[in-house]
Structure 1
Amino acid sequence: PNYDGSLKEPEVLPAAIPNLLVNGASGIAVGMATSLPPHNLKEVVDALVAMIDNPGITLEEVMRHLPGPDFPTGGRLSKRGIREAYATGRGSLKVRAKVRIEEKGQRPMLVVTEIPYQVNKASLIAQIAALVKAKKIEDIVALRDESDRQGLRIAIELKRGANPQVVLNQLYKHTALQTSFTVNLLAIAHGEPKVLPLLELMRHYLDHRKEVVRRRSLFELKKAQERAHVLEGLLIALDHIDEVIALIRASEDATQARQGLMERFGLSEVQAQAILDMRLQRLVALEREKLLEEYRGLMEEIARLKAILEDETRLWGEVKRDLLRVKEKYGDERRTLITEFEESFNPEDLIEDEPMVITLTAQGFLKRFPLESYRAQGRGGKGLVAGKTKEEDQATEVFVADAHDDLLLFTNRGRVYRLKVYDLPEMGRQARGVHVKTLLPLTEEEEVAALLSVRGLDGEGYLVFATERGLVKRTALREYQNLGAAGLIAIRLQEGDRLIGVALSDPEDEALLATQEGQAIRFPLEEVRATGRDSQGVVGIRFKRPGDRVVSLVTVKPGEMVDLLSVSTRGYGKRTPLAEYPLQGRGGMGVITYAVSMKVGRLAALLKVRGTEDLLVLSKKGLAIRTPVAEIRQYSRATAGVKVMNLPEDDEVASAFAVEEEK
């Protein structure tokens, strides 16, 4: 009954389809909430038909017909999480916009054609614009809503040279281009709220639909039987029409006529009344044939309905036919693409893997900035300002690595730490940087002595260490696989010695050690026995002059056709073929590699080059120059070379590095 008991109202409407699944539902009550995603009508019907045909069907079999939700706004849906949501009735699904990458002139462009369910387009555009304004996404130069009656279209124009996939990942992470849809299949079952797994929800609907069809069949059977009963009376009357007319004419009123018909022909009151209500046109022969045809049809329908009610298989067949009729009339194709994609992003998905310049000062200030900040200059240029340093602070390292590389930082205490290059603060060329102790748990007297970039620590190679006093050590890279935030012991250093370089090598490689007084030795690394992390190494070079020290470590392949590029503290440089350096045993004094003098200064760095690179030189006062290696002439070992960088009298070269020439 309704609120005042005057009427009866249905508790459940006889839905032809499971509205909960097809249209979805959401709502919040006291202490509970429901959230059902919409599904494709054709797929839902196919799944229900499969369950009718196979009552013991499994979830995997159902999901062949119903693979997942289908949102009216389209988009892309992650496969991950769908099965769990269907199996338990709870879960979370990731939905993404459909985005394609186009080109507009020389610029890449992201075009959004479908957005996630329940996302407002205007709010999404405002969200993207806010990120651009806040400089959280820097590669977007234009944002337009180009939607029309043909459909949705949001155009996101990028800078020339920008990586559209990285920008797209940033948008997925920070905007509603990727959203989560919470699944909570809470429904009223038998008068009580209950979280229903998909199979149970479908079974409830089919049981409901079976009962609806059973009641409908009973109702239709009753109506058909009532009509057939009336038709039987009419046909009897038509067979005895003259007697019926005479009986009616002889009666004083309708009640007497009705009673007379019932007694004379054995009719029921309903049949007798139908005869009295019959119009005279029914007396013609054609009308009698129509009544007879209707009666035969009703008897067939009665037989059909009785068969449905008496046979459960036929009852389920009727349920199936009803579903298929709805599918045929209203079904359409799926709009949401179900696919596999990474639902969460690590920083490497959001950061361009571009070459970065890493600088370290004597006082431990560290920073990175894009290599493209330096344009190539001619040999002998004055350079650009690479960073502001205090008068007493000087740059000690310039290093080039890709943003996704692992940066290994080796300290004066012989420990090693690891940072991702992208974890270093990105700053402008002239910025000072941040102190390394804000990034690493260094002790008070510990400082970074050497840097090395690697792409992962699970390779088969070796790390080669060189110290200022000429010691070398070789340790397998895999011994550093467990390198965590607390760091690991990398090398045991003698008192007063310091690490000057670390390189990645293969067992067959050769090493070159170069000293500030211009000596260099080349020897096979197989002469340096591989040892564990907590060892100090063996003698690699002996010094010819007291006070000399090693400044560079270089590794080469046997027979490699390369040059060794020498750079002096006063900015002079030259290239010398590797073949001019004889292969010797380790522990000797080596050969001359650079003609040291007051004019050119001492040797600052020895680098391996092929002639296609650029040379990047950094001074202690923060000046930097980038110049093509090919512009630096070849000279023999015992020479000083040509001016590479013009330096003030109170400045000198701190570090040098060879970088791949930009295409």
Structure 2
Amino acid sequence: MSSEPEPTPDEVAQRVRNVRIEDEMEQSYIDYAMSVIVGRALPDARDGLKPVQRRLLYAMHDMGVTSNAGHRKSSNIVGETMGNYHPHGDASIYDALARMAQDFSLRYPLVDGQGNFGSVDGDPPAAMRYTEARMASIAEEMLSDIGKDTVDFEANYDDRLTEPSVLPAAVPNLLLNGASGIAVGMSTNIPPHNLREIVDAAIHVIENPECTVRDLIHGPDGDGPVKGPDFPTGANIVGREGVYDAYTTGRGKLRVRAEYEVENRGTDDARIVVTELPYQENKARRIQRIADDVNDGRIEGISDIRDESDRDGIRVVIEMKRGANVDVVENQLIERHLENTFGVISLALVDGEPRVLNLKELLEEYVEHRREVVRRRTQYDLDEAEDRAHILEGRLQALQNVDEVVELIRDSEDRDAAKAGLQSRFEMSEAQSEHIVRMQLGSLTSMESAEVEDEYEDVQAEIERLTAILDSAERLDGVIVSELEEMKETYGDDRRTSFVENTGHVTREDLIPEEDVVVVVTESDYVKRMPLSAFDPQHRGGKGIIGVRPKEGDRVSTAFQANTHDYLMCFTNHGQVYRLKVFEIPEMGRTARGTSAVNVLDLDDGEEITAVVNCEELEGDRYLAMATRGGYVKRTAVDAFENIHSGGIRAIRLEDGDALADVELTDGEMDLVIGTRQGMTIRFDENEARSMGRTARGVNGIKLQGDDRVAGLVATHGGDDRDLLTVTRNGYGKRTPLTKYRRQSRYGKGLIDIKTDERNGEVVAINAVGEDDGLVIMSDKGQIMRTEVAEVSEVGRNTKGVVVMRLDEDWVASVDVVPAAEDEPELEDTAATAE
């Protein structure tokens, strides 16, 4: 037991140091971040290895599990690594070991695996008790001369052993196999390369230290050795712009496209055969996603997909339907599945600090490391040679005085006395006298003497060679170059990744004919498009024909007319706006339910499209005017909507319970007309609602009475000769000249537009229409009626209107205006009924 007395509470209190909690949190997080950055996630720029990879290789070196030894259980290797060098979970260590054995992950695998180490289909490796491994021969080059004081060693985690802080790395592993990792606040993603090209580039840097990155790149503007990344899975890099950016700045984006061939193009049994996939692509998952797109209607023209891959390589066969447009399918597959982006971030540790390096800097770091390794190895060999020469000098001296030496040793009392006598009589060193005393008598023969003299001459020549290397930077670099040439000869192979130019493939949009269509969206977020020509115009009062058959419990929320080549801004009741390419919506028959809208727009639950604006109209100093159900109105400049990402952006801030009702495009000199469900309208100058940002709520536009809500919004000029079309829930409607609606101040009660009694029901939509325009009206249950504006009677305000669409236990869901075509077909008789 300790004899020291227990400290008193006051003594303990005096040891407590007051620290601001934010300072402690900051310092602790920095310490944690640097631990992850240096100790786990990022590779060293010199050997291109993360700590776990380096420790695995060194553990196998310790165990003698080399390329010419037998395979050992992976669990044995993992256990040795974890117990001696890497005190982390065995799962993470095994994952690193498995990845170093995967020929589809590493361009030059460092581990020779035996057993199931995973596949390109995403299959995980078998349990470590079932697999076996040993070092690959190229991995031995990473550790060559490690016993010759070539690198620094440091204590392992429990100070029992030492481990190398970096490996000698006779090959430039960082560029050969690349690296990927996510640290705290930073990440790295370095692509693999071809050994021959990287060796030639390293030699070029050694021989031409003033060269530029451009001198190292082989391409339109350079004639250097490095063509670009060389992925283990082959495939093709599209264009060279991303490669140039990655090599000159350390960052860039590469477009990588699968290798495929179109067989029997233009015939009825055409097929696309994929033989190489982009790097790090999961083959099984990609095939499933192609199948999902085919089933969901996003890709048309494919009849079957077969995976015929085997041990010899990848072969995925995509069969075309009879009569399918192969060019369209090919471009759809490239756009969605056969091409991806590899983002290059050349981040590595330099002197323990993370740095983004360009191609030349990466090579310089490696070359400087090799200079240090070769310098230290040469010094080690020189010291060994000088020690050997010193011993041989003693032996030669003993052989020249053999009788006297034998007599001195024989007359000495013990070995120490003999050594002292030799040192005194012949001025030998302690090492020389020790060697002479332990030398056997058989070594004193004349033949042995000749061998010693020959060896001494050889050692002296070696000393001269090693000294010359250390004394000349040029000779030292020559050694590095010759060793790199040897690595190139031993391990070099041909490129697997090719380059293809971006030839401006015809896009899917280019191959789709321009056509006016009707887009239908339901409350349960099903969407489809149908040709507008499928719906012949009828006289007012018709029932229309089936446009969609929603599933039970679903109903139509929106229907609008568009062109297949339109890019639309779709505004929703939640105040979000999305960008929509009409041709991406699957075309389906009139009775089809449609595809899930999440495949086209990322809508939330309960989110419905309430307004659509064509992006081609967003030019100049224009504004988007918005009205909410609760009576608010606001204007926002169109340039605020230039960058709409796939998840949409906010168009307006909504109060609880409010929703976006309608959106109109204005030019800053128009009037706004707001219509309500109970038939009220108000017209005022748009400049009464000043321009605001996207996240603003807006200002009051109309005073709503009771539970009234806004139904729609119209923008008009003072001399506009168009009419205001109002359609009610029960299928009634009317036209009234816009001039009949006098301008008022914003936020008034407005004027009566239409009577919303039991016969009419509430107002569903208001639109500004011309005499020659057409209408597409869709009912809640999926009936579509197409008619002409001229069929709807023009009457005054505060009237009931006429039957526009005859409904049977149904009601109007949406109304859209269609510009009438010059060759508009004649109207069908109103007796046309639903199918």
Per the shorter chain, which TM-score range?
0.5 to 0.7
Match of 1:13 among 140, 163, 167: 167
**Conserved? CA contact 1:353–1:404, under 8 Å:** no
Match of 2:326 among 151, 164, 167: 164
> In structure 1, how many angstroms separate the alpha carbons of the residues matched to 2:312 and 2:285?
21
**Conserved? CA contact 2:516–2:564, under 8 Å:** no
AA of the residue aligned to 1:331: G
Match of 2:179 among 7, 12, 25: 25
Tell me the residue number matched to 2:294. 132
**Conserved? CA contact 1:96–1:116, under 8 Å:** yes
Tell me the residue number matched to 1:230. 391
Structure 1 residues 389, 149: CA separation in 2 closer, same or farther (over 3 Å shift)?
A: farther
Tell me the residue number matched to 1:511. none
Determine if the alignment matches structure 1 residue 143 to structure 2 residue 321.
no
> In structure 1, how many angstroms separate the alpha carbons of the residues matched to 2:432 and 2:204?
47
Tell me the residue number matched to 1:308. 469
AA of the residue aligned to 1:47: A
Q: CA deviation at 1:142?
A: 0.5
Count of aligned positions: 432
> In structure 1, how many angstroms separate the alpha carbons of the residues matched to 2:532 and 2:394?
99
Q: CA deviation at 1:53?
A: 0.8
Match of 1:75 among 224, 227, 235: 235
> In structure 2, how many angstroms separate the alpha carbons of the residues matched to 1:43 and 1:424?
46
Tell me the residue number matched to 1:101. 262
Structure 1 residues 204, 354: CA separation in 2 closer, same or farther (over 3 Å shift)?
A: closer
**Conserved? CA contact 2:235–2:498, under 8 Å:** yes
Tell me the residue number matched to 1:332. 493
AA of the residue aligned to 2:507: D
AA of the residue aligned to 1:15: A
Match of 1:107, SS state, is: coil
AA of the residue aligned to 2:296: A
Matches within 5 A, 1:583-594: none
Structure having the higher strand fraction is 1
> In structure 2, how many angstroms separate the alpha carbons of the residues matched to 1:486 and 1:394?
35
Q: CA deviation at 1:405?
A: 11
Instruction: Identify which of structures 1 and 2 has the higher relative contact order when contacts are C-alpha pairs closer than 8 Å and 6+ apart.
Output: 1
> In structure 2, how many angstroms separate the alpha carbons of the residues matched to 1:279 and 1:69?
61
Q: CA deviation at 1:217?
A: 0.7
How much identity, in percent, do the aligned residues show?
A: 44
**Conserved? CA contact 2:541–2:830, under 8 Å:** no
Tell me the residue number matched to 2:79. none
> In structure 2, how many angstroms separate the alpha carbons of the residues matched to 1:221 and 1:319?
17
**Conserved? CA contact 1:358–1:369, under 8 Å:** yes
Determine if the alignment matches structure 1 residue 54 to structure 2 residue 191.
no
In structure 2, stretches of 5+ residues that fail to align are: 1-153, 218-223, 519-528, 545-562, 568-579, 593-610, 618-623, 625-664, 668-719, 723-820
Structure 1 residues 224, 353: CA separation in 2 closer, same or farther (over 3 Å shift)?
A: same
Question: CA RMSD, aligned part only?
Answer: 4.5
Matches within 5 A, 1:202-281: 202-281=363-442
Tell me the residue number matched to 1:43. 197
Q: CA deviation at 1:425?
A: 8.6
AA of the residue aligned to 2:481: K
> In structure 1, how many angstroms separate the alpha carbons of the residues matched to 2:822 and 2:532?
24
Match of 2:225 among 38, 59, 65: 65
Residues 202-240 of structure 1 deviation map (CA, whole Å, 9 limit, x = unaligned): 111111111111111110100011011111111222222
Match of 2:508 among 333, 350, 360: 350
Give the TM-score taking structure 1 as reference length: 0.57
Q: CA deviation at 1:162?
A: 2.1
Q: CA deviation at 1:67?
A: 2.2
AA of the residue aligned to 2:270: P
Q: CA deviation at 1:72?
A: 0.6
Residues 589-627 of structure 1 deviation map (CA, whole Å, 9 limit, x = unaligned): xxxxxxxxxxxxxxxx999xxxxxxxxx96543xxxxxx
Structure 1 residues 387, 289: CA separation in 2 closer, same or farther (over 3 Å shift)?
A: farther
> In structure 2, how many angstroms separate the alpha carbons of the residues matched to 1:141 and 1:425?
17
Match of 2:271, SS state, is: strand
Match of 1:48, SS state, is: helix
Residues 160-202 of structure 1 deviation map (CA, whole Å, 9 limit, x = unaligned): 2323332122123223x22222211111112212222222221
Of 349-358 and 227-236, more deviation after overlay is shown by 349-358
Q: CA deviation at 1:404?
A: 7.2
Match of 2:324, SS state, is: coil
**Conserved? CA contact 1:386–1:429, under 8 Å:** no
Q: CA deviation at 1:18?
A: 2.2
Residues 324-372 of structure 1 deviation map (CA, whole Å, 9 limit, x = unaligned): 11111111111111232279x8xx6124625566589xxxxxx87499x
Tell me the residue number matched to 1:529. none
Match of 2:378, SS state, is: helix
Residues 622-659 of structure 1 deviation map (CA, whole Å, 9 limit, x = unaligned): xxxxxxxxxxxxxxxxxxxxxxxxxx9999xxxxxxxx
Structure 1 residues 296, 170: CA separation in 2 closer, same or farther (over 3 Å shift)?
A: same
Match of 1:144, SS state, is: strand
Match of 2:303, SS state, is: strand
**Conserved? CA contact 1:228–1:299, under 8 Å:** yes
> In structure 1, how many angstroms separate the alpha carbons of the residues matched to 2:439 and 2:514?
100
Tell me the residue number matched to 2:274. 112
**Conserved? CA contact 2:468–2:475, under 8 Å:** yes
Matches within 5 A, 1:615-634: 620-621=827-828
AA of the residue aligned to 2:354: P
AA of the residue aligned to 1:72: P
**Conserved? CA contact 1:163–1:352, under 8 Å:** no
Match of 2:457 among 296, 306, 315: 296
The structure having more radius of gyration, on CA atoms, is 1
**Conserved? CA contact 2:298–2:586, under 8 Å:** no
Tell me the residue number matched to 2:284. 122
Tell me the residue number matched to 2:339. 178
Tell me the residue number matched to 1:34. 188
**Conserved? CA contact 2:392–2:456, under 8 Å:** yes
**Conserved? CA contact 2:191–2:229, under 8 Å:** yes
Structure 1 residues 650, 51: CA separation in 2 closer, same or farther (over 3 Å shift)?
A: same
**Conserved? CA contact 1:386–1:618, under 8 Å:** no
> In structure 1, how many angstroms separate the alpha carbons of the residues matched to 2:442 and 2:822?
120
Match of 2:264, SS state, is: strand
Q: CA deviation at 1:101?
A: 0.7
Q: CA deviation at 1:282?
A: 2.3
Structure 1 residues 120, 33: CA separation in 2 closer, same or farther (over 3 Å shift)?
A: same
> In structure 2, how many angstroms separate the alpha carbons of the residues matched to 1:147 and 1:650?
60
Residues 445-468 of structure 1 deviation map (CA, whole Å, 9 limit, x = unaligned): xxxxxxxxxxxxxxxxxxxxxxxx
Structure 1 residues 390, 349: CA separation in 2 closer, same or farther (over 3 Å shift)?
A: farther
Structure 1 residues 359, 196: CA separation in 2 closer, same or farther (over 3 Å shift)?
A: closer
> In structure 1, how many angstroms separate the alpha carbons of the residues matched to 2:198 and 2:532?
53
Q: CA deviation at 1:39?
A: 1.2
Match of 1:122, SS state, is: helix
> In structure 2, how many angstroms separate the alpha carbons of the residues matched to 1:252 and 1:336?
76
**Conserved? CA contact 1:356–1:370, under 8 Å:** no
Structure 1 residues 392, 332: CA separation in 2 closer, same or farther (over 3 Å shift)?
A: same
Matches within 5 A, 1:81-92: 81-92=242-253
Q: CA deviation at 1:88?
A: 1.6
Match of 1:171, SS state, is: helix
**Conserved? CA contact 2:539–2:827, under 8 Å:** no
> In structure 1, how many angstroms separate the alpha carbons of the residues matched to 2:323 and 2:269?
7
Match of 1:81, SS state, is: helix
